[in-house]
Structure 1
Amino acid sequence: MVTEVLWGVLLPFFGTSLGAACVFFLHKLPGDGLQRVLLGFAAGVMAAASVWSLLIPAIDRAAPLGTWAFLPAAVGLWLGVLLLYRMDKKAPESSHTHTLTLAVTLHNVPEGMAVGAAYAGCLAAGGDLAPALTLALAIGIQNVPEGAVISLPLRAEGRPKPRAFAAGVLSGAVEPLGAALTIAAAQLIVPALPYLLGFAAGAMLYVVAVELLPTAARGGALSAAVGFTVMMVLDVALG
Structure 2
Amino acid sequence: MMTFWGLMIPLLGTTAGSACVFFLKAKIRPSLQKALLGFASGVMIAASVWSLLMPSIDMSEDMGKLAFLPAAVGVVGGVLFLLVLDRSIPHLHLDAKEPEGPKKEKLKKVTMLVLAVTLHNIPEGMAVGVTFAGAVAGNSEITMAGAFTLAIGIAIQNFPEGAIISMPLRSDGKVSKGKAFLYGTLSGVVEPVAAVITILLTSFVTPILPYLLSFAAGAMIYVVVEELIPEASEGDHSNIGTIGFAAGFVIMMVLDVALG
Same fold (TM over 0.5): yes
Counterpart Cα distance in 2 of 1:202 and 1:133 = 22
Name the TM-score, length of structure 2 as normaliser: 0.75
1:152 aligns with 2:163: yes
Q: How many correspondences in the alignment?
A: 222
- The one of 9, 13, 20 aligned to 1:19: 13
1:175-190 aligned at under 5 Å gives the runs: 175-182=195-202, 186=203, 188-190=204-206
Counterpart Cα distance in 1 of 2:212 and 2:42 = 21
Partner of 1:222: 243
Name the TM-score, length of structure 1 as normaliser: 0.81
Q: What is the RMSD computed on CA atoms of the aligned residues?
A: 2.5
1:109 aligns with 2:126: yes
SS at match of 2:165: helix
Partner of 1:56: 54
Identity %: 38
Q: Is the 8 A contact 2:146 2:256 kept in 1?
A: no
How far the C-alpha of 1:18 sits from its partner, in A, is: 2.4
Partner of 1:166: 186
| Distance change >3 Å, CA 103–CA 166, structure 1 → 2 | closer
Counterpart Cα distance in 2 of 1:91 and 1:18 = 25
How far the C-alpha of 1:95 sits from its partner, in A, is: 2.2
Q: Tell me which protein shows more helix as a share of its residues.
A: 1
Q: Is the 8 A contact 2:60 2:67 kept in 1?
A: yes
Counterpart Cα distance in 2 of 1:75 and 1:133 = 26
| Distance change >3 Å, CA 178–CA 62, structure 1 → 2 | same
Partner of 2:97: none
1:30-69 aligned at under 5 Å gives the runs: 30-69=28-67
Q: What letter is aligned with 2:59?
A: R
| Distance change >3 Å, CA 237–CA 27, structure 1 → 2 | same
Partner of 1:4: none
Structure 1: any 5+ residue segments left out of the alignment? Answer: 1-6, 126-130
| Distance change >3 Å, CA 156–CA 203, structure 1 → 2 | farther
Q: What letter is aligned with 1:208?
A: V
Structure 1 moving runs of 4+ over 6 Å:
none
Structure 2: any 5+ residue segments left out of the alignment? Answer: 95-112, 171-179
